Amino acid sequence: MNYPTTKNVRALLKSTAALGIGLMATFTPLPSIAQSFKAAVGKVDITPDSPQQLLGYGARKSTGVNDKIYHRIVVMDDGKTRFVLVSSDICLIAPSEYDQVAARLKKELGIERENFWWSFTHTHSAPELGPPGLPEAFLGERYKHQYDKKYAEETETKLVSAVKDAIKRLEPARLSVGWGHSNANINRRARDAQGKTYLGLNPDLPVDRRIGMLRIDKSDNSAMAIIANYAMHGTVIGGECTLISGDGPGIVSEYVEKKTGATMLFINGAAGNIAPIYSTQPTPFRLKEFEPLLGDRILEANARMTSSDAIVSIKTGGTIVETPRREGLKWPGYMADYTGTNTAGTQVVKLPVRFLKINKDIAIWSAPLELFCEISNEVRERSPFPYTFYYGYTNGWLGYMMTDEEIPYGGYETTVTPFKPGAGKDLINGVLGYIEGAMSAR
């Protein structure tokens, strides 16, 4: 609705007086709608200047750089809630590393933990960041070395500084939402005739090819940020290559940024059983093919989002989903906050799940998991919100979470999970319970 301006009202009063038309003695003030939604972005280079241990595949050290890696940051503020989303070109981190940075943001900037989401693209060609976390419980031989504390401290400080700078540059903004589709991924649970499962490509098993899109525009309608949520392992490049790279997610982000001028955050989805269609290549040669395969599909989805809102409401929340812990797992002591014993005396994993509600139609949930896509697909299908996105690899890593149907087939994922059968159902119930309850009521 277009409300009359003060000038127009005065003209109306003058004209009616000239015509002898009487006006009511009392006048109701016109409503005033002040835009309160603001946003800002940041992008900072975190490419190390010295060789680093790479995380992903076996233990190996970098010998050079194929493409630079970054923190990409969006800060959103609706006047009541300030929310920070970071996408980093890193494979994964321990939840304790997230805790450390979250504590700094709270102390230095007053950002509440529930309002800081740190997501990882899951590139397998990036340096380690901080202590190994839960992987040392599964792959102890992989972590004989000490992690690089200097690189970790520098990378943490770059993140905090970039958030500080973005907050200083908050400006009026608008928000759009939409869906896209790309065939750049495939289920990676390959099977032989006897049912043995191993890492490969399997077009007959479930996949999630939707792209969940958010775009933030400046007040002049130019694009500020594109947030693209897509499920795909960062494994286009294989373990033979020792060059640092953002892999598929990083290459696609750079491509979209060059085409649009916006900062693009690639947020991985439920990629636990999903690979890129060209996977574990011995060289970076095929990375460029993901520019049209995924990058152009993001650009197409972006072009279809023709409407945007200047009035934006942000609400955050969280819950802990407890599910039984696998026996015989040597849990790292510095991650004690993420395990415990329930009232029945059962050892459990304490899984932190975060929620973000934007206006009345967008529900985003995140977890520190490599989640099988069937689980997030079911949440999306049953959610009352038309736009329901899952942000994976967020705020740490607590292993793979499989479906009960896939566990009997074995495979790599069964060796790197702290969960027992039934965990997927526990997560679905916990997430939908929150979405249908607290989230829908607010």
What is the crossing angle of helices 149-168 and 95-109, to 10°? Answer: 40
| % the chain with pLDDT above 90 | 89
Return the pLDDT at 436: 97
Residues 132 and 397: their CA atoms lie apart, in Å, by 10
The domain ranges of the chain are: 314-441
Instruction: Quote the distance between the C-alpha of residue 75 and its chain's center.
Output: 14
Q: Render pLDDT for 61-81 as a digit per residue (tens, 0 to 9).
A: 999 999 999 999 999 999 999
| Average pLDDT value for the chain | 92
Residue recorded with tokens 């949930």? 365
* 56 phi-psi bin (left φ>0, alpha ψ -120 to 50, beta other): left
% pLDDT > 70, the chain: 92
* 142 band by pLDDT with thresholds 50, 70 and 90: confident
Q: What is the pLDDT of residues 241-291, one digit of tens each?
A: 999 999 999 999 999 999 999 999 999 999 999 999 999 999 999 999 999
- Across 336-347, b (16+ Cβ under 10 Å) vs e yields eebbeeeeeeeb
Residue type, 103: A
Task: Summarize pLDDT for 415-442 with one digit per residue, the tens.
Answer: 999 999 999 999 999 999 999 999 998 7
Closest CA to 225 of 245, 189, 253: 253
DSSP annotation of 318: E
* Cβ neighbours of 435 (radius 10 Å): 21
Closest CA to 404 of 357, 369, 379, 372: 372
Q: Mean pLDDT over residues 201-206, rounded?
A: 98
273 within 8 A of 187, measured Cβ to Cβ: yes
Tokens of 313: 């409401």
Distance separating the N- and C-terminal Cα atoms of the chain: 26
Quick one: pLDDT at residue 28? Answer: 35
- SS3 category, 61: strand
- 432 forms beta bridges with none
pTM across the whole model: 0.91
Local confidence band at 164 (pLDDT 50, 70, 90 cut-offs): very high
**Cβ partners under 8 Å of residue 32, min gap 6:** none
Q: Looking at the predicted structure, is the pLDDT value of residue 9 above 70?
A: no
57: left (phi over 0), alpha (psi -120 to 50) or beta: left
